[in-house]
A and B are shown apart, each in its own frame.
Chain A
Amino acid sequence: MKKVALLLLYLGIFSSVFAIESSQIDKSDDNKQTNKNYFSSNFNYPVFITRIFRDEIRVKINGSISGEDSLHFNSIIDTIQNIIKPQKIELVNSGANLIFYIDHPDYKGEVWSIHSLRNKQNKLMKRVVFNFYDIVDQEQRNKMITFYLIRSITDKHSVNPYMSISKSIFSEKDPLKSEFLKIDKLMVKWLCSGEFEKYMRACYTSYFKYLKAQRPKVFFGVVNVIAFIVAFLFFILFVYLRLLKLDAEKYLSFVSSGVLFVLCIYIFTQTKMLLFNLSYGVNLFSSVRSMLIQGIGALFIGTLFWSLVFFFEKLLFSLRESILFKFIVQLFSLVVVGAVGFVVFIFGFKKGIDLNVLMKNMILLASLGLIRALYNYQCYKTMQQILQKDVDLSRLSDLKSKAELNALHSRINPHFLYNSLNSIATLARISARKAEKMALALSDFCRFAINRNNETYTTVNDEVGIVKSYLEIEKIRFGDRLDYSIELDHGVENYKIPRFIIQPLIENAIKHGISKITGLGKVKLFICKVEDKVQIKVVDNGPDFPEHLLTGHGLQSIHDKLNILYKDLASMNWENGEHKYICITLPVLK
C-alpha cells in the first residue's frame, strides 16, 4: 500500500516536471528550443540530415515539362523561398547548382537519382533526375515535383527507421503518397539555416571525441583503468554477495519493485511521446514498435541498475548500522550507481551522450533517491514506534501480572501468618486474654487482606486499618521492643490510595529495621497532604536502607505498582541516617 502511495507521489512529481516541459512544446512557435529537442531526439540519430547548399540555390530545369509543371515549380520555389529567408532560391537559366532532368531523353531508364558533382570552379552542384513516365494527373505530378525538389536541397534522405512520419517528405518513400507537411517545412527551415545541423552536432558529436580532443591521452588511460577497477570491484562484490550473503527473496522484491517503477515511468513518458508523435502524424505502428523495443531495453537496464543499487547498499549497510548512515546511503546510492553507469557507458562504449539528457537523468535519480530515503526513513521511524509500543505494552502487561502476583503474595506473608499462629499457641497457655486479642487482630488483618473484591484502590482509612491490625500483631510478638505511632493529617482519611501500599512499607520497616536492632524499635507512619499530593512516610530507627543493591521484592513491587498506576506522577524516595525514612508521594484521587 505504501509502495503504491510512494509510486503515485513520484509519478506526480515526474508528471508535473513533464507537464511543464510539455507546455513548452508549442507547435505554433517554430523556434522553441523544446521543439528542436523533440525532433532531435526523435529524428534520425545518428544519421544526419545535412544541408548541402550553403549559399544561393539556383534551380534549372531541363527536359519536357508542361506549363502546369513549371507553374508548380515556381510556386513551390516561392514557398521555399519564404521558408528559408534570407537564403535565396530561384529559377535560373545558367549558373545553376541544382539541375533537374525531368523526362529527359538522356536518362530514360532511371526512376530517379541525385548526383553531387563539382563544376569547373570546384563548386558543388547537384543533378536530379526523375521521370513522370505516364503520369498525367497534375496533382500527382505536382507531388512528385515537390517531393524531389525538397529532397534535393538536403543531403541525406533517410530518417530514423523507427520513427517514420507518414506522408512526410523526409520519411515517405513513395512520392505520390507524400505531402508537404508542416513538419517538413520546419525541417527545411532548420536545415537551410544550418540550425538543425548545428544543434544535432552539439547533441551527438561524440562527447568522448570532444573530451579526447581536450585532454591528454594519459587522462584516458587513467580513466580506463579506474573504470576497469570499478567494474572489477562491482564484479567481486556481486560474486561475494551472491555466493555468501545474498538474500534472494529480498533481492528479488527489491529489484522487481525497482524495475516496476522504471517501467511505470517509462510507460508514462512513452505514452506522452506517443500522443505527441500522433499529433505530428507519426505512424502508430512504428511508434508502438519503437516503444516496445525501447521498453525491453528499459527493462534490462532497469534490472541491471537496481541490482547494482541493491549490492551497493548492502555492502555499505554492512559497514555501519546507524539510521543516519542508512538515510545518507539511500539518498546518494541511486546517483552514485547512475553516475557509474554513465561513466561506463561513455568510456566503455565510447559513445557520446547529450549533456542535457545526462543532467536530466541525474536530477531524476537524485530526486528519486531523496524521496526513497525519506520514505524509508519514515517507514523505519514508524516501525521503531510500533516496536517501542510493543515493548511498552509487553512490559506493562508483564509488570501488571507480576505486580498482581506480588500483591497477592504480599497480602499475607506466609511467614507472618505462621509466626502469628505460633504466638497465639504460646499465648494460649500464658494469657488467654492476650491470645484472644491477637487472634482477633489477625482476623481483622485477614478480613482486610482477603475478604475483598479485587479493587485496585482503597481509602486511606481502610489501609490504615490494615496497618493497625498488622502492627498490633507484631507488637504482641515483639513485646516492649516495638513502639509505633500513626499520624494522619486532617482530611486525608477518605483519599483513595492503592491497596496494600502502606502495609508492605511497615512490614519492611519491621523486617529489615526493627528486628535487626536490639533496643527499642520505633515505627512511625505519617500521612499528610502536601500541595495536591498525598505523602506517606514511614520512619523507623532500624539500619539504613541498602544504598546499592537490593535483594527481595518488597520495595520493588511497590515501585512497580506505583509505576503502573501513576506513571511519573507518583514517586518513592528514602533517606538514610538519623532521620531514616521512606516516603511515597501520590497524586490525590478522590
Chain B
Amino acid sequence: MKFKTLIIDDESLARERLKMHLEHYSEQIVIVGEAENGEQAVEMIDRLLPDLIFLDIQMPGKNGFDVLKEISHTPIVIFCTAHDEYALKAFETSSIDYLVKPVKEERLSKTIEKLNLLKRDTAKQELFSFIEKYAGLTKKEDVTSIPVKIGDRVVFIKVDDIAYFSASDKYVTINTKYNKEYIIEQSLSYLEERLDSRFIRVQRSCLVNSEMIKEVNKYFAGRYILVLEDGNLTKITTGRKYADTVKNILSF
C-alpha cells in the first residue's frame, strides 16, 4: 500500500531535506506534490487528495492549523515544526504525529513504521479538537511596550514603566512611573483586554498597574485610595463598583 504524500513547508531547504529522507521509503511513500504556503496547500490537498501530509505549522499567510481547518479532504497529518514548544503532548490523536525540524532519519523511520497503524480515514472532529487544545496551549504573548507617535517620532513606553492609564473625554493618557504623560487613542477596555493581568481596572476611567501600588487606604462606602509608587505618589480613588476587584487582586 502506498501513501500519496504532500509536503507543505515554506522553506525550500526543509522540503528538500524531507524529500531526500523520504526517498528511502519509496515503497510506501509517493510524493505527489510540494506546497510552499498555506493557500497552495489547501488547494493542492483538495485537488490531489493525498493520504498523508507533512505540514509545517509556521508559514506565511495561513499557518498549518488554518490549513487543517479549511481542507475538506482529511489526510493523515504529520506536523513538522522547528520549535520544541510546539512538540506538544496534545499530539496524541491517532491521526497525527509530529516531527521536530531538522528531521532526523531515525525519527522519520519510526514515523513510517507507525504509519500503518494510524487511521486512514481521519475524523475531522479529532483534528478540530486537537487544534482547540493546541490553541489553548499557545500562550498569548504579553505586550511589552506601547508605541506612541509624538510628532515625527515613535516613542516606546515600556509596559513595566507604566503606573496607570487614565481616560478623559476622548483620549487615554499613559502615566509612567517617571511622571511622564503620553496620550494614546486606544480605549481603556481594549488595553485592559490586551495587557497582562498586572493591569486592573479600579475605576471607570482608570487602569492601574497593580505592581505600582504602594499603599491601599480605606475610604468611604467600599472605596479605596491607592497610593502609587510613582514620583508624585499619585492617589487614585477606586470606584465603588470595583471594590471586589481591588480586594481580590490585592488579596485582603
Contacts and interface: CB of A to CB of B under 8 A. Distances in A.
A477 B12 CA distance: 7
B121 interface: no
Interface string A345-368: 000000000000000000000000
B144 A553 contact: yes
A513 B113 CA distance: 39
A426 B178 contact: no
A550 B143 contact: yes
Interface stretch (B14-22, B45-53, B64-72, B122-130): B14-22
A479 B12 contact: yes
Interface stretch (B87-95, B147-155, B163-171, B244-252): B147-155
Interface in A485-537: 515-518
Please classify how large the interface on chain A is, using the bins under 10, 10 to 19, 20 to 34, 35 or more: 35 or more
B158 interface: yes
A479 B15 CA distance: 12
Contact of A573 (B11, B38, B60, B153): B153
B143 A551 contact: yes
Interface in B70-105: 82, 101-102
Contact of B156 (A479, A481, A548, A559): A559
Given A419-B82, A518-B37, A552 B102 contact: no
Contacts of A552: 141, 144
Interface residues of B, number: 39
Contacts of A516: 60-61
A574 B150 CA distance: 11
Given A395-B178, A517-B61, A549-B194, A426 B152 contact: no
A464 to B, nearest CB: 23
Nearest to B62: A518
Given A422-B101, A517-B60, A550 B13 contact: no
Contacts of A571: 152-153
Nearest to B153: A571
Interface in B131-185: 141-147, 149, 152-156, 158, 178, 184
A483 to B, nearest CB: 15
B60 A572 contact: no
A218 interface: no
Contacts of B195: 549
A478 B11 contact: yes
B5 to A, nearest CB: 19
Contacts of A481: 10
A548 B186 contact: yes
Given A427-B13, A429-B20, A515-B60, A556 B102 contact: no
Nearest to B177: A391
Contacts of B102: 422, 425-426
Contacts of B12: 479
A432 B178 CA distance: 56
Chain B binding site: helix, strand, loop or mixed by DSSP? mixed
Nearest to B158: A556
A413 interface: no
A426 B60 contact: no
Given A426-B102, A518-B61, A550 B145 contact: yes
A423 interface: yes
Contact of B178 (A321, A391, A549, A573): A391
Given A426-B17, A430-B16, A518-B39, A549 B146 contact: yes
A517 B11 CA distance: 13
A550 B153 contact: no
Contacts of B61: 516-518
Nearest to B230: A391
A573 B154 contact: yes
A391 B233 CA distance: 13
A388 B194 CA distance: 31
Contacts of B14: 422, 426
Nearest to A555: B156
Contact of A391 (B60, B142, B184, B231): B231
A426 B155 contact: no
A8 B187 CA distance: 57
**B37, B39, B147, most chain A CB atoms within 10 A:** B147
Interface string A540-553: 00000111111111
A573 B152 CA distance: 6
A124 interface: no
B6 to A, nearest CB: 17
A515 B56 CA distance: 13
Per CB-CB distance, the 9 closest pairs between chain A and chain B, nearest first, are: A571-B153, A551-B141, A426-B17, A422-B102, A549-B143, A518-B37, A559-B156, A518-B61, A479-B12
Given A548-B190, A551-B144, 12 more contacts: A321-B235, A422-B13, A422-B14, A422-B101, A479-B11, A479-B12, A516-B61, A518-B36, A550-B147, A556-B144, A559-B154, A573-B152
Interface of A: 321, 387-388, 391, 395, 418-419, 422-423, 425-427, 429-430, 476-479, 481, 515-518, 545-553, 555-556, 559-560, 571-574
10 contacts: A321-B235, A391-B231, A426-B13, A479-B13, A517-B60, A546-B147, A552-B144, A553-B144, A556-B145, A559-B156
Interface of B: 10-14, 16-17, 20, 36-39, 60-61, 82, 101-102, 141-147, 149, 152-156, 158, 178, 184, 186, 190, 194-195, 231, 235
